[in-house]
Structures are given as C-alpha cells and as structure tokens.
A and B are shown apart, each in its own frame.
Chain A
Amino acid sequence: MITPRSPIVALGVGVAAPPAVLVAIYLFFAGHNQPGGGFAAGLVLGALVALRAIAGRRAPATSTTLLWIGAGLAAGVAVLPVAFGDAVLDQRVVDVTVPLLGKVKSGTALVFDAGVAAIVVGLVMAVLDGLGISRIADPSPESETAAKVEGGS
C-alpha cells in the first residue's frame, strides 16, 4: 500500500519532472541520428505521468485524446503521400534553417514518431485509468477487497 500523498514522493516527482521532459525532448529529436526516438520519448513521458499519478496529480489530458492525436498523426503521415502519387509512408526529407541551431535536417518521419510517442503516453495513461489511479490517494475500502485477480491459482 502506498501512503496517501507522501510529501517526499510529491517533492521528488516535482523536481524530477522538468529534466525528464527535457530528456524526452532530447530523445525524440535525437532519434534520427542517435539512440532514441518517439517510442523512447513516449516512455519517458509515460513514466513521468505515472509518477505524477502516484504523487496524487492528474494528467493534463485524457488518454483517449492522446490516442486519437497519435493515431491521427501517424496514419495521416502514412496516407498523405498517396495524395501526391507516392507510396504509403513515403518519406520526405527537408532541410530547415532554425535560429540558434542553424541548418537542421528533418523529415516527415518526425511527425510519424510524434504519433508513436503520443500513443505510447496514451497507453500508459489508459493503463493508469484502468487501474484506477484516482483511488490511490484516497484508498476506499472496496479497493482492498478487489484483490482476487489471480484466477486458477
């Protein structure tokens, strides 16, 4: 059993959150040339959301919204090339000049990866919803009797 609203956990999560987001962003953009990618970035964010849930804070969006966004981005990038007569998921690479960073090579794969990340975070949040995170901070008597999942054993 987790102690409801442990201040230590809350503080720890609060401190860890900004760097975790930075790590996620780094992993996301590094993915194309370095280890990382949308899946890893999504997992970091997902872990963060789960930790925040333990600390008693709600996620800023709902899992369903994220799942729609993710599926929309990935499927959109996948299908869009067809409109231009290319194959499904055909990749476009563009060189963009960004202030401070200079010339950056990017592509439609980045959007696809964003979709992957959104779906991973959405999945983590869906699992949290399914487990009923709202009841952690305020354990009701029922949640203790709900401990008979292990059928057959």
Chain B
Amino acid sequence: MIASDTTPSPAGRAVFGLAALPLAGLTVWATALLAGDGSATFSVTWVADLDLVIAFHIGPMAALLTVIVAGIGALVMVYSAGYFSKDAEGVVRFAVTLLAFGLAMIGLVWADSVWTLFLFWELTSITSFLLVGFRNRRAEARAAARRAFMITAAGGLALLAGLVILVDGTGTDSLQSLPQLEGSEAGIAAVLVMIAAATKSAQVPFHVWLPGAMAAPTPVSAYLHSATMVKAGVILVAITGPAFTDVAVWKNLGLALGGASMLWGAIGALRHVDGKQILAWGTVSQLGLMIVLLSLGEPKATFAALSIIVAHAAFKAALFMVVGEVDVRAGTRDIRELDGLARSMPIAFAVAAVSGASMAGVPPLLGFMAKEAAIEAGLKSKGFGAVAVTALIVVGSVLTAAYTLRFLIGMFGGRSDTPTEVSARRWPMTMPAVALTVLSLGGYVAAGTVTTLVTRAAGTLDPAAAEFALLRWPGFTVAFGLSAGIVVVGAALGLVLAREASSPPAAIGAGLVDRGIDEVVVTARRVTAQVQHGSLPVYLVVVMGVATLAVAPFWFAVDLDVLYRWDTPVQPILGLAVVVAAIVTARIDSRLGAALGLGGLGIGVAGLFATYGAPDLVITQLLVETVVVVGFVIGLGHLTRRFPWADRRWLVTRVVISVATGVSVAVALVASRSQPNGTPPREALVTEAVQTGGGNNVVNVILTDARGLDTLGEIVVLAVVAIGVVALGAAGGRRRIA
C-alpha cells in the first residue's frame, strides 16, 4: 500500500512546502478581508467579442470559504510532506495537481459570474479526476477516477444547461444579486442545478463515486472529500438558492436528495470496516444535512448550514488525516485488524477523539454549536417541514454519533494483548491534524468571533440570516434536550454496533455506473468500426460521392457560351492522350501497367499546363509524377502483380462514382468561368510581386510571401502526413514481428 521505507522524502518536503506558500498567503489575505468586513472585486477579460469576462468578487461568503479552502489546503500540503515516503513516485506531480485543484476551488468560490463559476466548477472536476487516479497503475484507482469524473462531468453538463436557463430568465449573469427566476423554465433550471450540486456533493443516488474515490492518496481525501470538492455542490445550492426560493421543486428535490443522503450515508458509515470508507460515507451524510438546511431557504437554516460547513471542514479533514497516519504507520486502516492504537498513537487518538466528538455534536466543540443551530432551524421551519425536517436531522444525528463511536472504537480500541505494531511518528502528518483539532475546540471558546464571521457570510446569502448566533450554552431548550438525547442514543447504538465485526457491504450502483461507461466505450468502438472501416476504396468513394453532391448547385450556373475549342491544336491532341491514358489506367489488369498509365496521364496534363503558359505548374507536375512513379515502383514490390478480383456491383459503383466526379469537376470549372467575379487580380499580383515581394516569379512570390501563411499551413499538413506515414510504417513493422 504505502512504500515500505518509512522515512519521509526530503525532496517531497521542499515541494510541498513551496506549494503550501501561496495557499497560506491566500488564507492570511482572506482572513484579513473577512475580519475587516471588506470585499474585493477584479476581473480579466477573456473573449471581448462575446462579453466573456472572468469575474471575481470576494465578499464575506467567498472570504470565509477561501479561509477554509486555502487554510486546509496549506495544512494538507504540510501533511503530504509527511505522507509520501522517500521512494514514492510522482510527488511533484501530486503537489502540482493538488495546488491546481486548490486554486480552481478558490476560483469557484470567488466567481462573480455564472460562467466563471462553471469554468472553475469543471476545473475542479478535471483536477479531482487526476488526483483520484493519481496511482494510475492501479486498475481500481483508474476505475474510481473515471467513475468520479463521469458522474461529476455529467453534473457539469446539467449545471451548464441550468445556468443558461437561469441567465436567460433573469437577464443577468452576476452571482451577487440573482433575481428571482419565474415562469415554467424556473422548475427545469432548479432541477438541473440541484442535480449538478448533488453529483458534486455525492448525494444519493449520485454518491457512488465518493467511496471509490478513497483509492486516492489520503491527502486528497483530507482535502477534496472533506472541505472542498464535495462542498462545491453545497456552495452552488447556497449561492443560486436566492433565484429559486419560490420554486417548490427546488426545495422538495433538495430535501429529498439531502434527506436520503443523510440516512443512507450514515447507514453506509455504520457498515463499512475501512476507516476511510467510514469517513467517506459519513461525508455523504453530512453533506446531505447541509443540502437539506440550504434548500429550506430559511434564514436560520442558512446560518446553520454555514456553521456546519465551517465545523465539518475542521473535523472531517482532521479525521481523514488521522486515518492516513494510521494507514502509513500501522500498514492498514481496516478496523477489524487494528488493535490497541490508543496507547501506541496517543496524539492521533486524541485528535480523532476530539474531532469525532465535534462530528457527533458533543460540547464543548464547534460541531456541537453548529448542530444545535441545525436542530433549532429544523424546529423553527414552517409548515409540516418543522416535524419532518427535525425528525430527519435527529435521526441522522443519532446515526452520526453512532458511527463516530464505532469508528473510534474500531480504529483505536484494544481487543487483545497483541497490539498492532506501528512505525515511527511523522511530525508533518501529526501537526496539521492537531491544528485543526485546536480549531474545533477554539471555535467553541471563541464562539463570538466564529458567529461574527459566519453571520457576515450568511448575510450575503440572506440578510435575515445575519442576526443569529452560535451559543456556547443554549440553556435547557428543546433543541438542547434533543441534542443530549442524540448523543446518548447514538453512543449506545455505536457501542452495540462496534462489537459486530461485519464484512463490508457490496457497492451498489458503482458497478452499474462502470458497466454504463463500458457500454458507451464499446458502442463507440462499434460505431467507429462501422464508419472508419479502413478500406481505402470505400473512403474514396464516399469522399468523391460527397464532393459530387456538393457540386450539384453549380449545374445551374453553367453557361455553355463561355466554352471555346482550343488555343492551339496541340491541346486537343494532348487532351485525347490524357483520356486514353485514363481509360487504359482504369481498365488494365496489371498494377505496374496502371502505374505507368497514371504517369503518362500526369505527363499529358503537364503538357496541357505548358500550352497555357504555366511553367511552374509544369515543373511541379512533372516532378510529382516522377516521384510518384518511383514510389509506385517501390510500393509494387509489396503487392501482387495483378489487381485482385472485384465484385461486379462494386465495380459498377466505382465506375459510376468516378464518372460522376469527373463530370462534376468539369461542371464546376465551366460554372466558375461562367460567373466571373470581378476582374482577375492578375495585374495587381504582378505589381505586388515585383515591388513588395522582390521577385519576378509571381507564382513563387505568392507561395512564399503574399500567401505565405497558406503555404505554411500546407507544409504543416505535409509534415503531419509524413509523421503519420512513419507511424503507420512503425505499426506495420510491429505487427509483422508479432
């Protein structure tokens, strides 16, 4: 799994240290911005003609998210320095991709226009694909990356469609003040945007990519699957929510997806035995809670959702880091195999215990206050939702407390006298997790500060959401009673389930997605095999047939009066020779004969050029014919002497197409002569060639100067053809050896 050499790589440290710098800088900047309640706006014009501008606006909400994304990013970089061993491969690639992802994510939260949002949304999908598939020699990692990418990219398409409708309906692409979207298309846009959010935030039934994504190195999970990538969907729901507040389907779909994810994710977390999987499924559940709160569209719920985003980022990243440390130091993260780590890894245990408690909603931690706010929001919500949403949150929280306890007991509990052996501590892995844990604790102590920051952010989404506060001690309210009950019942459930040594459940749905993707690939291959069958004659027939059809309109432009007999009597003689050569070439049985006939035909055409006074064409034509004949002589050595037998129907088809092509070319030429388009540029070209081109050969000056760009393009085509020929030759050679 992890390289056996346990000393971290010094080169890796330098790379990750370098990558952490910009993220740390952004964290400081965003913190200052948030503390000063300021904002920043800047934009880069991308395509001026389309009014396409990459626009950023960093208000309190974006600043808060930047602190999370950049701050945890910097910590994850430090963590990665310890995670990778000396002989690990691709450390630089990993650091660069992870930094690229972090910056894409920051671009996403800074986005001020829907198009900027979409751009960075897709960038996070791509970089996340690269990170999940980082261990690209493993089939499992590749499959997981492909699955994650296909689902999130499909969501990206839904997002694009939804955003187009949104911009079309509201008339603005600015995200700062999205007006209400009304009318029938509002529902469609709402569904599309919500689906996009659900794919990114791994909501049921699109969650199947997240457990597989655990094939990525643990720093990826600590970053992407706790604080950033999976939050993108939640952020999307938060910032586009104001446009859909009156759309019933938005709220209902969000509640349904979020609620299902809350429960199913928690159940998954209770069944898995891999520490990372438990956390991944727990993330699905937590994200479900955020989506539920945000789709309620009520001030208190929005405030609670943002509080949970902050708390979750701190505790989930820390927990992932701990699992990674256990994995590196103990060699496994299967809770059935780990034994007695509480004693041998005391710091990791402390981190996991405190962060886990925050996840379960135990005071005195940030997670407790956030969960209190969520329950309050549930109780205060309107209509029948009050009961249903509260019940949902309570049940979800009970399960959360249960899987948290099961996780802690499984990872760190002792069962026998032979504890798992662990290797030496790696400080870079320990410290970031400790720092995040301190934040979970400090957030509770400094509840006032956290409240200020969260309410500033919430105020950008809903001004009414700015008046709430996180309470250290709420008093004996209904919410507190529920909170206490949740912890007690959850702990009991967790204790019972921790004893069950269950085997991991089969992944439902992941196989289905994989089969779907495979099916698409197979179908694509089949279609390609039909269209690109590899038969040169059939390609030629298709190309020439299409060209013939394209010439069809020219028939109406033909004016036979432009035709005249000839300039000199040599022309008909040469013409006749060309026709005879063509017929001989087509009818002759021997390949060498056909090659010679073709050469004779070309020379006849060269003669015709000469009679029209085009010496450059004559030279080129003659030389091309020479080279082609030599080429034929070489090529024929590989072929049979005679043409193979041809089916009669196929023969007729080829004759018909050939004749049609010839007639079409003649028609096109006569037609272009019949419809002169202004005066020929002859005079102008001659003067230009001598004066600016510095040459008397107009043709050559055109080729190298006046239309030099065309020539450049043509020789690039030649070079590409040559490379293709070399490649084909190499491929053919290989096949012969095999």
Contact = CB atoms under 8 A, between A and B. Distances in A.
Contacts, number: 194
Contacts of B618: 35
Interface string B662-698: 0000000000000000000000000000001111110
B630 A40 contact: no
B630 A47 contact: yes
Interface in B627-650: 627, 630-631, 633-635, 637-640, 643-647, 650
Contacts of B732: 130, 132
Contacts of B716: 71
A129 B537 contact: no
A78 B709 contact: yes
A30 to B, nearest CB: 8
B634 A32 contact: no
A37 B635 CA distance: 28
B626 interface: yes
Contacts of A125: 722
A89 B692 contact: no
B704 interface: yes
A1 B711 CA distance: 37
Contact of B726 (A37, A129, A147): A129
Contacts of A75: 712
A91 B693 contact: yes
B715 A74 contact: yes
Contact of B634 (A71, A112, A128, A150): A128
A107 B721 CA distance: 29
A144 B615 CA distance: 41
A38 to B, nearest CB: 7
B637 A2 contact: yes
Contacts of B623: 40, 43-44, 47
Contacts of B726: 63-64, 126, 129-130
A50 B616 contact: no
B643 A71 contact: no
B721 A123 contact: yes
B702 to A, nearest CB: 11
Given A1-B637, A51-B630, A91-B705, A71 B715 contact: yes
B715 A33 contact: no
Nearest to B727: A130
Contacts of B572: none
A104 B485 CA distance: 99
Given A126-B726, A131-B729, A54 B701 contact: no
B700 A150 contact: no
B10 to A, nearest CB: 39
A153 B634 contact: no
B638 A132 contact: yes
Nearest to A126: B722
Given A63-B726, A122-B722, A126-B726, A33 B696 contact: yes
B733 to A, nearest CB: 7
Residue of B535, B695, B721 most packed against chain A (CB within 10 A): B695
B238 to A, nearest CB: 47
A113 B693 CA distance: 13
B534 interface: yes
A149 B728 CA distance: 13
Contacts of A147: 638-640
Interface string A60-94: 00011001001100110010000000001101010
A43 B621 CA distance: 10
A105 interface: yes
Contacts of A25: none
B478 interface: no
B619 interface: yes
Contacts of A91: 692-694, 704-705, 708
A31 to B, nearest CB: 5
Interface string B529-562: 0000111111000000000000000000000000
A10 interface: no
Interface string A87-113: 011010100000000000101010011
B448 to A, nearest CB: 60
Nearest to B690: A33
Contacts of A2: 633-634, 637
B536 A63 contact: no
B630 A119 contact: no
Contact of B711 (A32, A64, A116): A116
A71 B624 CA distance: 21
Nearest to A120: B718
Contacts of A136: 634, 637
Contacts of A132: 638, 729, 732-733
Given A37-B703, A40-B620, A40-B623, A50 B708 contact: no
Contacts of A122: 719, 722
Contacts of A126: 721-723, 725-726, 729
Contacts of B733: 132
Contact of A149 (B536, B624, B722, B725): B536
Given A89-B708, A127-B631, A39 B719 contact: no
B627 A38 contact: no
Nearest to A125: B722
B687 to A, nearest CB: 15
B365 to A, nearest CB: 61
Contacts of A146: 638, 736
A50 B536 contact: no
Contacts of A43: 620, 623-624, 626-627
Contact of B616 (A37, A53, A120): A37
Given A47-B626, A70-B715, A142-B736, A89 B709 contact: yes
Nearest to B728: A130
B725 A32 contact: no
Nearest to A71: B719
A150 B646 CA distance: 10
Contact of B725 (A39, A51, A89, A130): A130
Contacts of B630: 47, 50-51, 54
A89 B692 CA distance: 13
A108 B630 CA distance: 33
Interface string A130-153: 111100100100110011011111
Contacts of A139: 637
Contacts of A113: 700, 704
A133 B536 contact: no
Nearest to A118: B715
Given A27-B619, A149-B536, A129 B725 contact: yes
Contacts of B722: 63, 67, 119, 122-123, 125-127
A122 B624 CA distance: 15
B28 to A, nearest CB: 41
A54 B615 contact: no
Contacts of B723: 64, 67, 126
Given A123-B722, A126-B725, A105 B694 contact: yes
Contacts of A44: 623
Given A112-B708, A130-B726, A131-B635, 12 more contacts: A27-B619, A40-B616, A63-B722, A64-B723, A89-B712, A109-B701, A122-B719, A123-B718, A130-B728, A132-B732, A136-B634, A151-B535
Interface of B: 533-538, 615-616, 618-620, 623-624, 626-627, 630-631, 633-635, 637-640, 643-647, 650, 692-697, 699-701, 703-705, 708-709, 711-712, 715-716, 718-719, 721-723, 725-726, 728-729, 732-733, 736
19 contacts: A31-B700, A34-B696, A34-B697, A37-B703, A37-B704, A71-B716, A91-B693, A107-B695, A109-B693, A109-B704, A112-B711, A113-B704, A116-B704, A116-B711, A119-B719, A127-B631, A128-B631, A142-B736, A149-B639
Interface of A: 1-2, 27, 31-40, 43-44, 46-47, 50-51, 53-54, 63-64, 67, 70-71, 74-75, 78, 88-89, 91, 93, 105, 107, 109, 112-113, 115-116, 119-120, 122-133, 136, 139, 142-143, 146-147, 149-153
